[in-house]
A and B are shown apart, each in its own frame.
Chain A
Amino acid sequence: MSVPISTIVNGQSIDLAVDPRSTLVDLLREQLGLTGTHVGCRTASCGACTVVLDGNTVKSCCVLAAEADGRSVQTIEGHVDGERRARPGELDDVQEAFVQVQGMQCGFCTPGMVLSVRALLAANPDPTDQEAKAAIAGNLCRCTGYVNILRAIRRVADERAHAKESTDV
């Protein structure tokens, strides 16, 4: 059996048929070739599969592919404005901060982590250390000890506040 769905992925409207048993992460990776979203556990534990579904971060390994019908999905491959794919080298300030402060090592958790950090800073532009940790609690990292990831968050928050001050003046 296959279920026809209409979905928007990284700003692009897509009609396709999915196996009802398959998950959103498999739709993205297998059917659409968007391999930036990773699979680490399939039990909604590690968060490597985090994507944005209708504006909310979710663990796509535990969302049915058919769920994407009528909804919009953003992955790491998408431009941060959600309207299109990002071009190579087109990084937002969160990604730039990760690069500069070494917020990753093996990179496997990184796509999911970036999406969670974007969601955090959109909702809470000046998070405390505790709030930042709670926001990425669902994204496990085995390489970094989270230290540089939290530094990246602080760096973006500070830079954005500084930029805002400059424009507010």
Chain B
Amino acid sequence: MKHVGRSVPGRNNVISVAGAGTYVDDVRPAGRMIMAVLRSPHAHARIVRLDISAAAALPEVSLVLDGASLAADGIVVRPGGAFANFTVRQSDRVPLAVDVVRYVGEPVVAVVAVDLIAARAALELVDVEYAPLPVLADASAALTGQPLEQSWPDNVMVDYPFSKGDPDVVLAGSDRVRRGSLRCGRIAASPIEPRGIVASWDPYRETLTCWASTQSPHVLRTLLAATVGLSDSAVRVIQPQVGGAFGSKLPMFPEDVLATVASIRLGVPVAWTEQRNEYLTAAGHSRDVGCDYAVAFRPDGRITALTVDLVADLGAPTTVAGWAMCIVTAGCIPGAYQIDDVRVRMRGVVTNRGPWQAYRGFGKEVSCFVMERILDEVARATGVDRIEVRLRNFIPSSTFPYTQPCGWITDSGDYEGTLTEAAKLIDYADFERRRAEAREQGRTLGIGFAHELTPEGSSRPDSLMGGTDSATVRISPRGDVTVLTGVTSPGTGNETGIAQVVADALGCDLERVRVEQGDTASCPYGNGNYSSRSLTFGATSARLAADELRERIEAVAVSMLGTDAGRIRIEEGTVHGPHDATLTLDAVAAEIYRNPHGRHMTGLPPGLEATRSYRIPNVHHQPDVDGRYNQYPTWSFASAACVVEVDEETGVVRVEDFVLVHDSGEIVNPLLAEAQLHGAVLQGIGASLYEEISYDEDARPFAHTLREYTLPGARESLAPVIGHRSTPSPFTLDGRKGVGESGISAPAAAIASAIEDALREHDVRLSRAPFTPARVWAALNGGAA
């Protein structure tokens, strides 16, 4: 029985359902003290006076940190990374504000006390006076305003232009051109568990142990060690159970450094658990992007030229690398569509809004929104059916691997396959009848489509996320298998998926395989989980290690059975030889351990432990050598179709049906993969209809609680119909591409398409996500939306 491809429930399910999971706030080393952070109430201000003496004098308070003292001690975070083809400006950061605060929520002072009540009481005693400075409230202010960073000439942090062919000439010569503007609202990933860290310095051993709700323990270890001046070997980072991440827990945060510095200074464990209002203001947002586009096309809907000018409001610059999402947004245009004359420019500007942090989609969801709205516009302008216009513009399946205009290399695809299946599953052919029937009941329905292209496996040069991962597979003397992996799980269940892959590779029972992850002391170097890499990288490196052991096992088994290589097969823990001879894997393991000098081990390496690192192909980081740059090895994709009902009086939109046909190559565990898709689709719907981070004209955030930043609840949910297709990657070992981000991008455009279809008699245009009831109502009543 093959385990890969089976729907096995997640192995941590039993722990979770019993409430027995240990999350970072449940980690309580003896002597633990609590850290709280005082944050800026202003979006931009000079710190005129800061007096921490009253706070420090409280008997329950052990330590108060401020920016000036950290800077004096050389505690500075240095961002890095190499950037081919575009400009990125970065600056070093002290984890607490020095002289100036640049966003509401920026950490100013950290207090360590016996408990949270005492810590918060101490925060209230910090005497700080601010002198407000002019605020860059949004991207347009930033483009014309004074530089936020002293050392920068302007506020453009990222400038990424690329082009192919000569789009301006084609546009000028075309009599079918449409221009428009689009906007995506700012979004917060909002896992139900906020961030947290427990830092514990052992002053005798001079070692640091941190438990952190993080996606990348090894990366956090290196970044933390470098910042506080420790050897990597003296630092251990442990990822306990994580209550959701979706990108928001990629290292490294100022609070990680603060808790660590505090623990080193005090010699006791220091814990910081984030409060929700801190998460919503300071942990980082995404997707605050606007663009202007021009598209030229033929009467049959074939696009001949496209220019897209994007501006991303990156908020205040920090050391968290969320800003890199704006580069991905640009690079994924024109995405799934073959357009040979195209110009794209992304300018990411800094403002006094909150900083950016990674969120599922990592910029591709904005690209999808842009492209899909443009395709719909072309369909509207030409009268060509929305499915048909996409089919006519898709990159043909026969041309993969395909080099995008930005230079990135799309591995494989069959976009017609998913789109036509999505249209079938939503019963597009029957929709007009359904619409008419609803109309008779006084209900307004519409149908919409969108296609999403989801590059995965992000691998960036000169970063700790460069395109590899490692795994160790160990088999014990009694045949028990342990896999130690460098990838982590925020709940996705990769400990189950990896076990399935290893069990197949070894031929053993699934129950005999235990996967451990998240501890830098035992797990080989890895980058953690992001960009859907856990099975693509994590399971593949585990498989490579397992394959190495399999070779040894087979050689020993062949010897023990006295037969020839190629005449055995291994299934469910039993080696089957000719003439019904059998041998358990346990017996083979025992032989390897007990008789390394025996005849069955002659010429073979001893032991049953292998560590392998997997460097994924189709990543190119040497453009000066081979002229190629590609940071995404695998490109999943999906097509969505949805039916919405619009209440024309109130603008309220309900998603009635949602179909997602996705193609991520081989699927290891359909139950877990589909669960991912369910979550991604509702997150996508959330960003389309219910969620937005707003700021006022002084860059003060509106949302401090989940009453303002409203996540979809069960009543907003529906069960999407999921279709699977598989166009394997020609580059990865098992053809896998990664599932984790599929479904996050398509909903916004599919829903916009459906709302416009529902309201087609009113010629409504939706260019700004989310499509709140007020915006839909305004579009219906003559306003712009």
**B15 CB-CB contact with A under 8 Å:** yes
Closest to B16 in A: A107
**Contact between chains at B243 and A107 (CB < 8 Å):** yes
Report if A148-B715 is in contact (Cβ < 8 Å); known contacts: A35-B22, A100-B9, A108-B23.
no
Q: How large is the interface on B (under 10, 10 to 19, 20 to 34, 35 or more residues)?
A: 35 or more
Residue with the highest number of chain B CB atoms closer than 10 Å, among A75, A137, A142? A142
Complex CA–CA separation, A104 to B492 (angstroms): 9
Could you list which residues of chain B lie within 8 angstroms of chain A, going by C-beta atoms? 9-10, 12-23, 25-26, 117, 190-194, 241-246, 273, 275-276, 490-493, 671-672, 675-676, 678-683, 705-707, 711, 713-715, 717, 719-720
**Contact between chains at A143 and B679 (CB < 8 Å):** yes
**Contact between chains at A142 and B679 (CB < 8 Å):** yes
How far apart are B687's CB and chain A's nearest CB, in angstroms? 12
Contacts of A111 in B (CB 8 A): 17, 19
Contacts of B191 in A (CB 8 A): 106, 108, 142
17 new A-B contacts at CB < 8 Å, known A35-B19, A98-B13: A19-B117, A40-B192, A43-B706, A43-B707, A45-B705, A89-B14, A91-B17, A91-B18, A100-B9, A102-B493, A102-B671, A105-B492, A107-B17, A130-B715, A140-B713, A144-B678, A147-B717
**Contact between chains at A137 and B714 (CB < 8 Å):** yes
Contacts of B242 in A (CB 8 A): 106
Contacts of B715 in A (CB 8 A): 130, 133-134, 137
Contacts of B10 in A (CB 8 A): 102, 104-105
How far apart are A113's CB and chain B's nearest CB, in angstroms? 9
How far apart are B240's CB and chain A's nearest CB, in angstroms? 11
**A70 CB-CB contact with B under 8 Å:** no
Contacts of B705 in A (CB 8 A): 41, 43, 45
Q: How many residues of A contact B (CB 8 A)?
A: 58
Closest to A115 in B: B19
Complex CA–CA separation, A78 to B717 (angstroms): 30
**A6 CB-CB contact with B under 8 Å:** no
**Contact between chains at B14 and A148 (CB < 8 Å):** no
Report if A38-B16 is in contact (Cβ < 8 Å); known contacts: A107-B241, A136-B714, A142-B683.
no
**Contact between chains at A110 and B706 (CB < 8 Å):** no
**Contact between chains at B193 and A106 (CB < 8 Å):** yes
Contacts of A109 in B (CB 8 A): 192
Contacting residues of chain A (42-66) with chain B, CB-CB under 8 angstroms: 42-43, 45-46, 48
Report if A102-B13 is in contact (Cβ < 8 Å); known contacts: A19-B117, A108-B243, A147-B717.
yes
How far apart are A42's CB and chain B's nearest CB, in angstroms? 6
Complex CA–CA separation, A65 to B241 (angstroms): 27
Complex CA–CA separation, A101 to B21 (angstroms): 19
Report if A95-B17 is in contact (Cβ < 8 Å); known contacts: A43-B276, A45-B705, A150-B719.
yes
Contacts of B22 in A (CB 8 A): 35
Contacts of B26 in A (CB 8 A): 29, 35
Contacts of B683 in A (CB 8 A): 142, 145
Complex CA–CA separation, A95 to B16 (angstroms): 10
Complex CA–CA separation, A146 to B275 (angstroms): 24
